[in-house]
Amino acid sequence: MHGRYASKYELSNALRFVAVVIFVQSSGISNAASQTIVDQEFVIDPVLPALAIDERQDVAQTFTVGITGTLTRVDLQIFRGDPQSASPLVLEMRRTLVDGLPDESDAGLLAVLPITAVLPRLIIAPPNLVQVELGPQSVPVDTGDILSISLHSMAAPNEWYLWASGAPAYNRGSGFFRSEFTGGAYRYAGTDLGFRTFVVPIPEPSSFVCAVVSAAALFGTLRPSKRKHLPPAHSE
């Protein structure tokens, strides 16, 4: 009888071990979910031909989000067509309309930022992708969202850029362009453009529940018992 009352912890060693294992596994799931992973990708190799981006023509590529989370980065197969081009390209992340075109309304704009990276002068092999971090403008996304990566140029006349294009083999979006010849409206380009998207996923709700339950169990195993140690019973 005395041994039963002298136990230091509420739960058995076996239960404590199980709680620790579950907690470690749940923490691993949470840590893995916090990592940036590739979501959508269409990389062109070889990268010729390409669509031009200049003061007269904008280019866009739509894509369908495959992972719920936060879109933090896009990589683009873009180049300087003119070695003297120095003005930055501007990236706009936009929603799309029901017909699949980029939504150019104020409500459709999700992020806008200049691409400040030094772009390669020539189309090179292996395929080169320029990284664009969205930073504070990272976009919350849900699986199935259809978004647009739109590029337009701040370059002076005769400065131009290229976005590598290929056969329309990306089946979750399309390439578009607009210019004075389209009346300023986006038109289907009949091609897809080289890109890659990165998302920090949101963990499954079950992972959170598992982590909370196991953490509570672990706390319980380590909490000293408040039960008073009673003296052994005396028989008459």
Q: Does residue 174 lie within any of the structural domains?
A: yes
Helices (H), the chain: 2-5, 13-33, 205-222
Q: pLDDT tens digits for 118-176?
A: 788 776 666 789 999 999 999 999 999 999 999 998 877 778 889 999 999 999 999 99
State whether 131 and 176 are in the same domain. Answer: yes
State whether 16 and 104 are in the same domain. Answer: no
The pLDDT of residue 223: 52
Place of tokens 């005396």: 234
State whether 6 and 77 are in the same domain. Answer: no
CA distances from 121 to 46, 77, 128, 138 (A): 16, 12, 11, 28
Question: How far apart (Å, rounded) are the C-alpha atoms in residues 207 and 59?
Answer: 40
Confidence of residue 94 (pLDDT cuts 50, 70, 90): very high
Q: Does residue 10 lie within any of the structural domains?
A: yes
State whether 19 and 69 are in the same domain. Answer: no
Q: Does residue 51 lie within any of the structural domains?
A: yes
- Determine the structural domain holding residue 25 and report its residue range: 2-34+203-222
Q: pLDDT tens digits for 15-55?
A: 454 444 344 344 444 444 469 999 999 998 876 678 999 98
Contact 45, 125 (CB under 8 A): yes
Question: How far apart (Å, rounded) are the C-alpha atoms in residues 133 and 74?
Answer: 7
The pLDDT of residue 128: 81
Residue type (1 letter), 91: L
Q: List CB contacts of 234: < 8 A, sequence separation 6 or more.
A: none
- Tell me which residue of 72, 63, 64 sits closest to 137, measured CA to CA: 72
Question: How far apart (Å, rounded) are the C-alpha atoms in residues 110 and 100?
Answer: 16
- Give how many domains the chain has, as a whole number: 2
State whether 193 and 210 are in the same domain. Answer: no
State whether 104 and 14 are in the same domain. Answer: no
CA distances from 66 to 52, 144, 163, 198 (A): 28, 6, 23, 10
Average pLDDT over residues 59-67: 98
Contacts made by residues 11-18, CB under 8 angstroms, sequence distance 24+? 11/217, 11/220, 11/221, 15/217, 15/221, 16/218, 16/221, 16/222, 18/217
State whether 175 and 64 are in the same domain. Answer: yes
Q: Does residue 229 lie within any of the structural domains?
A: no
Place of tokens 């840590």: 31
CATH number of the domain enclosing 135: 2.60.120
**Percent of the chain having pLDDT more than 90?**
50
Start-to-end CA distance of the chain, whole Å, equals 16
Question: How far apart (Å, rounded) are the C-alpha atoms in residues 202 and 70?
Answer: 8
